[in-house]
């Protein structure tokens, strides 16, 4: 049996095609843009093409993500918390804590060995500490987003970004630039601010339980990863393509008929 999961987020939409016997057959990552409905259909189409299967071979589809309800082609809509837990459990069954940082929100989840959610919290009212926060800071510093992490590792001085709000934090960054501070030092401070925000969420779900897996687009930023590892004093496990874990979990739930 072949199933699909589609994770419709604010900035990107991912789809995974999963075979019960062969595992992941294909996937896609598609910019959501101005139409979540169009993005969900195009992402699913691309994933099916990547998997080299026919659309009629995909027996069940589960949608997840903040715009999951618009997926009128889905057999069921399931929250991203549940789907992330399932996806992580499949890839890393030893995992007990999940950190997911996407474009507009941050989620922290405690799971058991069967992918069941024991506790969770999320920052869904403010872009602070998310991918959008990093985009704004990259623009303020005229640094390419995909270069931020590597450049932050070359810092010399510890600076601090004290504001939680993205708008105020941007003002702090502009002030640090006007003071003549090095870009690498400012980037290091930005990544520490993201890590601090995430640690605050983790503390709200109780004592940290390793092993810890990180998912979402921000997991590709080595600066954030290193800042989190230093503050948690534990390593992070990251799947080769951390953006598709939620869609993978949705596909697994579709396969199980949920």
Note the pLDDT tens digit of each residue in 179-193.
999 999 999 999 999
Closest by alpha carbon to 241, among 73, 27, 56? 27
Q: Which domain holds residue 51?
A: 1-92+241-258
**The Cα angle at residue 73 between residues 68 and 75, in degrees rounded to 5:** 80
Residues 99 and 32 in one domain: no
Closest by alpha carbon to 100, among 240, 253, 238, 251? 238
Q: Given pLDDT bands bounded at 50, 70 and 90, which one contains residue 127?
A: confident
Residues 30 and 76 in one domain: yes
Residues 202 and 111 in one domain: yes
pLDDT digits (tens, 9 = 90+) for 35-58: 999 999 999 999 999 999 999 999
pLDDT surpassing 70 at residue 258: no
Residues 145 and 232 in one domain: yes
Q: pLDDT at position 149, please? A: 96
Residues 136 and 220 in one domain: yes
Contact 191, 180 (CB under 8 A): no
What is the average pLDDT across 215-232? 97
Residues 176 and 224 in one domain: yes
Q: pLDDT at position 51, please? A: 98
Residues 173 and 258 in one domain: no
Residues 46 and 106 in one domain: no
Residues 175 and 213 in one domain: yes
Q: pLDDT at position 165, please? A: 85
Q: Given pLDDT bands bounded at 50, 70 and 90, which one contains residue 125?
A: low
Average pLDDT, the chain: 95
- Which one is predicted more confidently, 63 or 103? 63
**Global pTM?**
0.94
Q: Are strands 106-111 and 23-31 parallel, antiparallel or unpaired?
A: unpaired
Q: pLDDT at position 224, please? A: 97
- In whole angstroms, what is the distance from residue 32 CA to residue 166 CA? 22
- Which one is predicted more confidently, 223 or 165? 223
pLDDT surpassing 70 at residue 119: yes
Question: H or E stretch including 35?
Answer: none
- In whole angstroms, what is the distance from residue 248 CA to residue 15 CA? 8
Contact 62, 56 (CB under 8 A): no
Q: Are strands 236-237 and 212-215 parallel, antiparallel or unpaired?
A: parallel
How far from 46 is each of 37, 52, 91, 165, 229, CA to CA, in Å? 14, 10, 23, 37, 35
**The domain that contains 228 carries what CATH number?**
3.30.420.40
Residues 32 and 5 in one domain: yes
According to DSSP, residue 149 is labeled H
pLDDT surpassing 70 at residue 124: no
What is the average pLDDT across 28-38? 93
Residues 123 and 187 in one domain: yes
Total number of domains in the chain = 2
Residues 11 and 52 in one domain: yes
């Amino acid at each position: 049996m072949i199933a699909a999961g589609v994770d419709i987020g604010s900035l990107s939409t991912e789809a995974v095609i999963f075979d019960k016997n062969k595992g992941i057959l294909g996937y896609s990552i598609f910019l959501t843009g101005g139409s979540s409905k169009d993005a969900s259909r195009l992402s699913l189409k691309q994933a099916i093409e990547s998997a080299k299967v026919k659309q009629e071979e995909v027996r069940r589809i589960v949608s997840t993500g903040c715009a999951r309800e618009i997926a009128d082609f889905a057999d069921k809509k399931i929250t991203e918390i549940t789907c992330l837990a399932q996806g992580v459990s499949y890839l890393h069954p030893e995992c007990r804590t999940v950190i997911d940082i996407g474009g507009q929100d941050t989620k922290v989840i405690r799971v058991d060995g069967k992918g069941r959610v024991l506790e969770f919290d999320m920052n869904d009212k403010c872009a602070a500490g998310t991918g959008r926060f990093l985009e704004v800071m990259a623009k303020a510093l005229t640094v390419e987003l995909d270069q931020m992490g590597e450049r932050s590792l070359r810092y010399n001085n510890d600076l601090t970004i004290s504001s939680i709000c993205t708008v105020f934090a941007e003002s702090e960054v502009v002030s640090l630039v006007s003071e003549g501070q090095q870009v690498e030092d400012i980037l290091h401070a930005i990544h520490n601010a993201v890590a601090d925000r995430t640690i605050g969420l983790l503390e709200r779900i109780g004592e940290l339980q390793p092993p810890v897996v990180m998912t979402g687009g921000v997991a590709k930023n080595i600066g954030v990863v290193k800042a989190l590892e230093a503050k948690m004093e534990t390593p992070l496990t990251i799947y080769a393509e951390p953006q598709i874990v939620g869609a993978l979990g949705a596909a697994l739930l579709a396969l199980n008929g949920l």
